[in-house]
Amino acid sequence: MHVFVTGGAGYIGSICVEQLLNAGHAVTVFDNLSEGHRSAVDARAAFVQGSIGDPKDIFQAIKDSNPETVIHFAAHALVGESMVNPGKYFRNNVANGLNLLDAIVEAGVKKFVFSSTCATYGPPDRVPMTEDMPLRPINPYGESKRMFETILNWYHTIHGLEFVAFRYFNAAGASERFGEHHRIETHLIPNILKVPMGQSHQCEIYGTDYPTPDGTCVRDYIHTLDLAQAHILAMAPGKHGFYNLGNGEGYSVRQVITACEKVSGHNIPALEKPRRAGDPPRLVASAEKAVRELGWKPQYPKLEDIVSSAWRWHQQHPNGYRD
């Protein structure tokens, strides 16, 4: 199958592209390299540098590559930044995303796979969270993804576009070749690992007064390789709808620090800081629907295995991608 991947030079996108190619698919990556890296694009993929902000760019690229499926990773994805600059999130994740959807409809693409997020739910009434729970996002990032999910439903109703929207919990870990390198790193695991890498003296904990067992936020970490597998399963004809992707286990910030200490063999001091705006206290997935309906089976559910893969990649790429 020919797959067109927006954001395929980014963290999750690059690993998904690699896995698609390994599974025998042909891939075209479309990325503006604002967050992604050219050297994160698997050499077996075709690469088009362009922006979904430009309707002509995106339509031309899709028309030229004539894919059966489009997978859409290109988006801004930082909770904290979205609380400071909401316009950036609504513009790129919603308005620019519409350029992509219109191009797909015009080009006659039948299948769309979308990276949504558990941030669409906001603080849940109970965990683990199922897809039928109310969507009450508490940050513009989550809101922008919720809006796009709503738009997708209308494109399905009106244009017959078949889609799978994955609500990722916390993506982490690396493949053998591709890993996490953000130009400004805000994510928990890569920031903690900077300490044993010798790039930082201490990590930071954003909030120790949450209503959780140790007072720090609880998240459900999911290996990027398992995310990639779900995308491949979602491409099968007839698969449609909203699916959580997580492991069903919550780990607090302190537990993640402990896991990083164990994996790296280093003591990792932590500075306790105030809460970060927009963070729900606890997000844990039920991914039973994806298991049941897509046949998804996570291969790396253990936090230590996820952290080990990240640690290995960071040791091999102390400065990330060079470009």
Active site residues: 141
Residue with tokens 């996490």: 180
Give the alpha-carbon dihedral of 274, 122, 145, 89, to 10 degrees. Answer: -30
The angle subtended at Cα 17 by Cα 284 and Cα 287, nearest 5°, is 20
With binding defined as CB under 6 A, does residue 182 bind ligand UDP?
A: no
Q: Which residue is nearest to ligand UDP (CB)?
A: 217
How far apart, in Å, are the Cα atoms of 165 and each of 115, 153, 192, 195?
6, 10, 30, 35
Exactly one of 62, 188, 222, 310 binds ligand UDP (CB under 6 A); that residue is: 188
Residue 122: CB atoms within 10 Å: 19
Exactly one of 217, 245, 260, 310 binds ligand UDP (CB under 6 A); that residue is: 217
Q: Which is nearer to ligand UDP, 58 or 218 (CB)?
A: 218
The angle subtended at Cα 247 by Cα 22 and Cα 92, nearest 5°, is 70
With binding defined as CB under 6 A, does residue 186 bind ligand UDP?
A: yes
Q: Which is nearer to ligand UDP, 143 or 162 (CB)?
A: 143
Contact present, 20 and 232 (Cβ < 8 Å): yes
Exactly one of 54, 102, 204, 261 binds ligand UDP (CB under 6 A); that residue is: 204
Alpha helices in 160-240 (DSSP H): 188-193, 224-234
258-287 positions binding ligand UDP, by CB under 6 A = 276, 279
Q: Which is nearer to ligand UDP, 67 or 122 (CB)?
A: 122
How far apart, in Å, are the Cα atoms of 304 and each of 65, 186, 202?
39, 20, 20
Task: Retrieve residue 217's tokens.
Answer: 């936020």
Exactly one of 51, 69, 115, 170 binds ligand UDP (CB under 6 A); that residue is: 170
Closest approach, Cβ 188 to ligand UDP, in A, equals 4
Closest approach, Cβ 205 to ligand UDP, in A, equals 5
Task: Retrieve residue 50's tokens.
Answer: 């362009």
Closest approach, Cβ 92 to ligand UDP, in A, equals 17
Closest approach, Cβ 190 to ligand UDP, in A, equals 8
Burial of residue 292 (CB within 10 Å: 0-12, 13-18, 19+) is exposed
CA-to-CA distance for 185 and 181, rounded, in angstroms? 7
Exactly one of 187, 240, 266, 302 binds ligand UDP (CB under 6 A); that residue is: 187
Exactly one of 90, 206, 251, 313 binds ligand UDP (CB under 6 A); that residue is: 206
Piece of the chain touching ligand UDP by CB under 6 A; list 18-26, 96-104, 182-190, 305-313: 182-190
Exactly one of 49, 60, 85, 191 binds ligand UDP (CB under 6 A); that residue is: 191
241-260 positions binding ligand UDP, by CB under 6 A = 253
Residue with tokens 């620090």: 257
Using alpha carbons, select from 53, 8, 55, 66 the residue that is nearest to residue 33: 8
Task: Retrieve residue 239's tokens.
Answer: 């698969």
With binding defined as CB under 6 A, does residue 289 bind ligand UDP?
A: no
Using alpha carbons, select from 182, 187, 6 the residue that is nearest to residue 96: 6
Cα dihedral 286, 283, 170, 101 sign: positive
Closest approach, Cβ 268 to ligand UDP, in A, equals 11
Exactly one of 145, 219, 231, 239 binds ligand UDP (CB under 6 A); that residue is: 219
Write out the residues near ligand UDP by the rule CB under 6 A: 79, 170, 186-188, 191, 203-206, 217, 219, 253, 276, 279
